[in-house]
Amino acid sequence: METAEAYAVCREIARNEARNFYYGFVLLPPDRRAGIYAAYAFSRRADDSVDGTEALADKMRAVEARRHELDACYAGAPPSGDAVLVALADAVRRFAIPRRYLDDLLDGVEMDLAVRRYADWPELKGYCDRVAGAVGLVSLYVFGFEDPRAPAHAEDLGVALQIVNIMRDVAEDAERDRIYLPADEMAAHGVDEEQIVAGAVTPGFRALMRDQAERARGFFARGERLLPLLDRRARMCVGMLAGLYREILDEIEGRDYDVFEARVALSRSRKLALMGQRTMSALASR
């Protein structure tokens, strides 16, 4: 398969699956946009490896298969008929993406097979660093950077987005017997697992979620320091993604943290309007 054709397949995967990220991706120049599409398509494949109804052993084998796929990509020998791997192999070469970040992503995905509860924030942050912070670092290499401060900010922004995902998806995750809220903070607010499974929006649950929102905003504040360290087009992309997730967080807060009634989502028109607003903001950030 030709590289251009492989990238086109990854673009369609992003278009169909990356409901929020895609709006930021389109702001990048074509070569870097293609690299992000490839990285996204592989991360989507990694997530899908553990989210199906297959037996645990099958899911573990699927994650191991992803590791072998990385072996092939970094050896420059992806299966010629696998569009995602053909594109990823080109992207990791073109943008010098360190393998350790993609390995960290797979470590995080694998955690979902064994860890369904987190005792405290440090434990949960270790998970967020792998499934989201690592993605932020992969993306940073595609964007391009020179300032040594950039990786820490990219990682923080990835964690910010993941905290918002956790807040938005409390109900969906509970249906899968996964709770990504720190157990010690749940206990401090008088929230137990049964209340979360039942979708009870108690004063304690609201206080617990308020704490998560405050934490997310702290990571956003640190992560958005990345903006002036990027070139103009990358700044536009990152500004858009940060803005989308801040809007989702605002919507969660606007619902008084009731994430059980309906899943929080932004309309296409709102995303397009936000694209314009955040693009101008990003351009003015230098």
Over the chain (286 residues), the average pLDDT of each successive run of 10 is: 94 87 85 96 94 88 96 96 97 97 96 94 97 95 96 97 96 94 98 96 98 98 96 90 93 95 81 71 59
Task: Count CB-CB contacts under 10 A for residue 171.
Answer: 16
Q: Are residues 273 and 153 in the same domain?
A: yes
Q: Of 114, 144, 176, which residue is a domain's last?
A: 114
Question: For tokens 């943290």, what's the residue?
Answer: 257
- pLDDT value at residue 20: 72
Q: Which CATH number characterizes residue 49's domain?
A: 1.10.600.10
Selection from 108, 113, 10, 103 nearest residue 61 by Cα: 113
Q: Are residues 145 and 95 in the same domain?
A: no
Spell out the residues 6+ positions from residue 143 whose beta carbon is closer than 8 angstroms to its own: 28, 32, 230, 231, 234, 237, 238
- pLDDT value at residue 111: 94
Selection from 129, 75, 63 nearest residue 99 by Cα: 75
**Lookup: tokens for 251:** 């919507």
Q: Are residues 189 and 136 in the same domain?
A: yes
The DSSP H or E segment spanning 33 is helix 30-51
Total domains, the chain: 2
Which residue segment(s) compose the domain that 44 sits in?
A: 1-114
Q: Are residues 180 and 246 in the same domain?
A: yes
- pLDDT value at residue 85: 97
Specify the pTM. 0.92
Task: Concatenate the DSSP letters of all residues of 156-175 into one string.
Answer: HHHHHHHHHHHHHTHHHHHH
Helix (H, G, I), strand (E, B) or coil at 67: helix
Selection from 97, 92, 106 nearest residue 46 by Cα: 106
Q: Are residues 124 and 82 in the same domain?
A: no
User: CA 7, CA 86: separation in Å to the nearest integer?
Assistant: 8
- pLDDT value at residue 51: 83
Question: For tokens 């993306």, what's the residue?
Answer: 139
